[in-house]
Chains A and B, each alone.
Chain A
């Protein structure tokens, strides 16, 4: 039994997704802790010769390449067949994938076919022991899949004691990508796609496809102005865009603000949105549900503007401004303009 750690690499054209590189970095660490190898899976079209250099340097010991016309763009069934059949043969103990549209489409199918456990949107992954008190059984070296749950009111640690692989999805930006060695010598295996994917699996035709580069640069922004439900309206957000423009920041939002329709979905910061690590995070009318905090707690300086002095976010803020956003945000704009000249 191979028992290695696997990462499914998501590929757009010939570019490996950042989230996959983040997971390769994490996967390498998990593999080291477990004393096993890290393997990666890349499936797409005309990717051979293009993706190796984006994958191996993260410390990948074995890269399985599936290169066939029907594998790009991504559709559910062929990619499911790739992983299910590969995993039946290789028996990984852990499989990680990005918690984006592709990973969230693919992960559950694979877990359903293999009857293995899958935990979505993990914010932390660790290795540790587990005792099942009911069964009186002890397990070593399980994957702790840690995620906020139940509307972010609790943080749960999930384990899959019996079933393999232990599967988890992680959002982009939650883990950090770090090249281990630019010349890392990993083995590349060009797999025979037809052996894994029967012709009958190619059942979805992609008629039309528009992908644009992200409209915002939240992930890399040094300063973020984020608005919550307390902004009250779309117009409230206009004020944040103005502040952001003045201080050269990007605008983000909490889920409550997105759900209320105050701003675009891709501005969402938090467990089910983007994870950010800016130098300065200005939280405007954000109470600080744990899912939101999960996505911004590593910010350098946190400034919270809230009229509720007991807002949970205030406990992690470096500066707490007790006041309404309507009062404070225009003043921030005004005094920045005055002082920065």
Chain B
């Protein structure tokens, strides 16, 4: 049985490698200092999708991502690994979205590009927010069931899927009917590497938003390629394209507001500074034992 699979992926700032210049002197986040990467757990999600595609010939894997023009990078990256194509959901109206407004935008896009979707798979959470909310919120908006914290898809046939998932203190195997939304853990199988042939095939793929403003594909050095190979022009959708209600998008559609943001300053304690010498360590242990802190 061929499956229509949508993978939700996000380009995120790499918050795991935050250097000292990650914050501006004013205390705001210096995004320019953080490299943009494919959200790690979305890669685990992509792998689960690609495995289903391998097992079910004729299946398609479509990436849906929301972000500025450069976020099209995740679509290309996914295509290098085996995805069939993707859509960049991009519009100023989406800016400032919290998880609810994001899930609204994504759900309208999915309805538009893949109304008869069988599976929507995303990472459990994105490293820039760690909320794990968008997957379940998309599921609810589309009226679909969900399986979060997925570790492995054990089987998917005859419209039914069996999944092993992590729960607190253990594991659970659950079965449900398609269509369904899955969110995948970082501990699930890692994503396969890029495929050299696919890199060659898709390396010039571009979303219109990535062009220098005011220019067209016809002005690019390999303009004829974009005419001959339509798959090199990545899908791009605006708010109007997906008939999204402006009141539910971006800042306007976000019930949560950031009241304030503080740069964290630890209240410094007066600390005893020691070296790693035998004398210092021995002294510390004796002190802690003497006042019954340890032992």
- State the A residues within 8 Å of B (CB): 73, 75-77, 80, 100-102, 104-109, 111-113, 115-121, 130, 132, 144-145, 148-163, 203-214, 223, 247, 256, 259, 265, 271-272, 279-280, 288-290, 293, 300-303, 305, 309, 312, 314-324, 327-328, 331-332, 335-336, 338-340
Contact = CB atoms under 8 A, between A and B. Distances in A.
B258 A322 contact: no
B70 interface: no
Contacts of B137: 108-109, 111-112
Nearest to B289: A339
Interface of B: 13, 15-16, 18, 22-23, 27, 29, 98-100, 103, 127-141, 145-149, 162, 166-177, 186-187, 248, 254-264, 266-269, 271-276, 278, 280-282, 284-286, 288-289, 293-295
A207 B173 CA distance: 5
A108 B135 contact: yes
B259 to A, nearest CB: 4
Nearest to A294: B264
Given A118-B99, A132-B257, A205-B175, A150 B15 contact: yes
A203 B177 contact: yes
B98 A120 contact: no
B26 to A, nearest CB: 12
Contacts of A150: 13, 15, 29, 128
Query: At the interface, is chain A mostly helix, strand, loop or mixed?
Result: mixed
Given A108-B131, A322-B275, 13 more contacts: A76-B146, A76-B147, A108-B137, A113-B140, A117-B256, A154-B23, A161-B257, A206-B172, A256-B16, A321-B274, A322-B274, A336-B289, A336-B295
A209 B171 CA distance: 6
B53 to A, nearest CB: 24
A162 B162 CA distance: 40
Contacts of B260: 156-157
A284 to B, nearest CB: 12
Given A149-B261, A321-B275, A73 B132 contact: no
A163 B168 CA distance: 30
A318 B255 contact: no
Given A76-B146, A105-B149, A208-B173, A316 B269 contact: yes
Contact of A157 (B99, B259, B281): B259
Given A113-B140, A328-B276, A101 B167 contact: yes
Contact of B276 (A108, A312, A318, A324): A324
Contacts of A312: 266
A118 B171 CA distance: 26
A101 B149 contact: yes
A282 B2 CA distance: 54
B136 A76 contact: yes
B173 A327 contact: no
B103 A315 contact: no
A48 B138 CA distance: 33
The 7 closest A-B pairs by CB, nearest first: A323-B276, A151-B15, A117-B255, A112-B140, A117-B256, A108-B136, A112-B137
14 contacts: A104-B132, A108-B132, A112-B138, A115-B248, A116-B255, A118-B131, A132-B257, A145-B256, A156-B260, A205-B175, A209-B167, A209-B173, A211-B170, A335-B281
B262 A155 contact: yes
A223 B276 contact: no
Contacts of B281: 321, 328, 331-332, 335
A109 B177 contact: no
A335 B266 contact: no
Nearest to A211: B170
A154 B99 contact: no
Contacts of A156: 258-262
B177 A279 contact: no
Nearest to B142: A112
A118 B254 CA distance: 10
Contact of A205 (B132, B174, B268, B278): B174
Nearest to B14: A151
Contacts of B171: 209-210
A155 B261 contact: yes
Residue of A130, A303, A338 contacting most chain B CB atoms (<10 Å): A303
Nearest to A19: B168
B271 A318 contact: yes
A206 B276 CA distance: 53
Given A76-B145, A108-B137, A205-B175, A318 B169 contact: no
Contact of A211 (B139, B140, B167): B167
Contacts of B275: 321-323
B136 A316 contact: no
A327 B276 contact: yes
A117 B100 contact: yes
Given A150-B128, A154-B29, A207-B162, A318 B272 contact: yes
Given A101-B167, A120-B133, A335 B145 contact: no
B258 A157 contact: yes
A290 B145 contact: no
| Residue from the set A208, A212, A271 with the largest chain B CB neighbour count within 10 Å | A208
Nearest to A303: B284
A124 to B, nearest CB: 12
A121 B127 CA distance: 13
Given A150-B128, A259-B16, A335-B282, A320 B261 contact: no
Contacts of A327: 276
Contacts of A154: 23, 27, 29, 261-264
